[in-house]
A and B are shown apart, each in its own frame.
Chain A
Amino acid sequence: MIRSLRKILAFLQRDFLSEVSYRLAFFLQVAGMLLSVAAFYFITKMMNPKTEGLDGIEPFPWVLLGLSFQYYFSTALYAFSAKIRGEQMLGTLEAMLVSPTPTSIVIFSEATWDFAFGAIRVAIYLLFATLVFGVKLYATSLGTLALGVVLTLLSSAGLGILSASFILYFKRGDPVNFFLSAVTTFFGNVFFPSALLPAPIRWVSNFLPIKWSLDVVRGSLLQGKTLRDLRGEILNLAVLTLVLLPLGLFFSRIAIRKAKREGSLVQY
């Protein structure tokens, strides 16, 4: 366990070193994030705070959390497959897979930096929103928030590994990513409340982990709700995690085995 953790940290350190070697790009990215927060502040000024589904939350912080977590989810969706593809092209995947580290740990660890950077990104969004636009955040239920974030991370990793398996299996473009990303953005309670959707299609959002993640995060951070208040949402998120993560790992095993049989594991 500790050895696996060290390996995951080694991936984190490797990507951090690589990332800081592009200093200008790093700072430009942060500057771009701050501008997009400001843009959303003014866009949400046009929205009615009494809109159904906002649950009394101001539109700006509501959308801001949607935006930051949607980025987190799409990172999870793209990071695994993009990293695996990158390693295949760089020729480093073969060097990693010939090492005694199990393939599943290599695949899982590949996205560590993207997840960490995603978390930093969320923190920057929230810090900026608090300091510049006066958004009030509740720190009364940090345990609930942490639980929600961990479940978000695991469920999105499940989806991401599923998509990476697709890349390994078919060696083609990734419709899984495209489909999930589009569906998540539209149905996931991200930019507008899913309560606004027509009733016959509203049920779709209940099967998306991001919907429950956002309910937990918005509830705990913006309304100070406790674990007791959010137990239903946490439970739904946990059930989706329990389905998606093993499913992703199962398909990754099948994809790796097939790729090894075909001899295409390290090709791109």
Chain B
Amino acid sequence: MQHVVEASQVVKTFVKKRPVNELVRHPFRRAERVRALRGVDLRVRAGEIFGLLGPNGAGKTTLLKILSCLVLPDSGRAVIGGEDTVHEGRVKPKIGLVHSDERSFYWRLSGRENLRFFSHLYDVPRRKMGARIDELLRRVGMLEDADRRFADYSSGMKQRLAVARALLHDPPILLMDEPTRSLDPASAMSLRSFVREELNGRDGKTVLLATHNLHEAETLCDRVAILVRGKIRRIGTVDEVRRWDVDERRFRLEVDRWPPGFRGPCRVLSEEEGEGLRRVTIALDRDGRLDGVLRALLDSGSAVHACDRIEPDLEEAFSRILEEETEAEATP
């Protein structure tokens, strides 16, 4: 399997700037250090959408900046398309970066003028420039608004223009830093489907997406890594990550009555009344079997109207990892 983005033992520590008055009062005091990445290992396969999940301050943006040659790691190695990111001249043509910052354009210029300026920086051949800009504007649904000033665009339009900019030089790899952060649900959904269907599905681009939106990761990503305090805690398919460390199976039952003092190979997690039925969520014991629970219920005279399996979700897995992390931190 070909890996197009690789990070091996990447470490990055930032030194906090000290105000001048503090420098004068305590000239020899050591500046505070923030460990943003603590030995990150990551491999992204060609053609996949890979989600980098983590809470704020986890190190997602720092990792993306290292991969896009904007920040140098203290140690470790970052490789894009087989090239070490220290050779930025060879790496940059292979990547397109979509920022979460919607300001990153010239507000008094139109969308088209902005793209034309960046086309020069992205080495788009002059004779193909006009056609390329039109094609991208059409694909992101901005052709009709291309000649309006950037300042007049909505957040969704600004973000779509940012995607168009990242595609100007047709890079095989897209690095996206929380691209839907400032979008309303409809715009976010439209951008996600564009990434999934057009960029990944049709163009075969590899996408590395940093997000703290778990729903986005679940609907969009083939694989995810959970990054907490600068370290990757879990990595795998969305399914693998959400089932990680989960050894109980959950079911939601709809019954006409729940026998008082019911004892079966399960724990009752919740009970609620609705439409004349009781909805009960149970977790099977490690060796428990669903048919054992159902038989016991039927024997007690209850009628079972429905039984659905509840898959563990990413949010739960995420919370569990954060809890583990907090406990580890609290342990002396």
| A interface with B by C-beta (< 8 Å) | 3, 6-7, 9-11, 13-14, 17-18, 21-22, 90-92, 94-102, 106, 171-172, 257, 260-263, 265-266
Contacts and interface: CB of A to CB of B under 8 A. Distances in A.
5 contacts: A90-B103, A91-B103, A94-B99, A95-B118, A172-B20
A263 B120 contact: no
A110 to B, nearest CB: 12
Nearest to A99: B121
B113 interface: yes
Contacts of B104: 90-92, 94-95
B221 to A, nearest CB: 22
Contacts of B169: 99-100
Nearest to B109: A17
Interface of B: 12, 14-15, 17, 20, 36, 62, 65, 68-72, 74, 89, 92-93, 95, 97, 99, 101, 103-109, 113, 116-118, 120-123, 126, 165, 169
B123 A100 contact: yes
A18 B92 contact: no
Nearest to B125: A3
A267 to B, nearest CB: 9
A263 B63 CA distance: 11
A99 B17 contact: no
A19 B74 CA distance: 41
Nearest to A9: B120
Given A98-B97, A100-B92, A92 B70 contact: no
Given A7-B120, A14-B117, A98-B97, A92 B105 contact: yes
A178 B136 CA distance: 45
Contacts, number: 94
Given A98-B70, A98-B97, A10 B12 contact: no
B121 A102 contact: no
B93 A100 contact: yes
Contacts of A99: 92, 118, 121-122, 169
B121 A17 contact: no
Contacts of B106: 14, 18, 90, 92
A102 B89 contact: yes
Given A98-B70, A262-B14, A265-B70, 9 more contacts: A6-B126, A90-B104, A92-B105, A95-B97, A100-B121, A101-B122, A101-B123, A102-B89, A260-B71
A100 B108 contact: no
A261 B14 CA distance: 9
A11 B121 CA distance: 10
A6 B105 contact: no
B165 to A, nearest CB: 7
A21 B149 CA distance: 11
B12 A263 contact: yes
B85 to A, nearest CB: 10
Ranked nearest first, the 10 interchain pairs of A and B with the lowest CB-CB distance are A10-B120, A99-B121, A91-B104, A91-B103, A100-B92, A101-B121, A263-B71, A21-B108, A91-B101, A98-B97
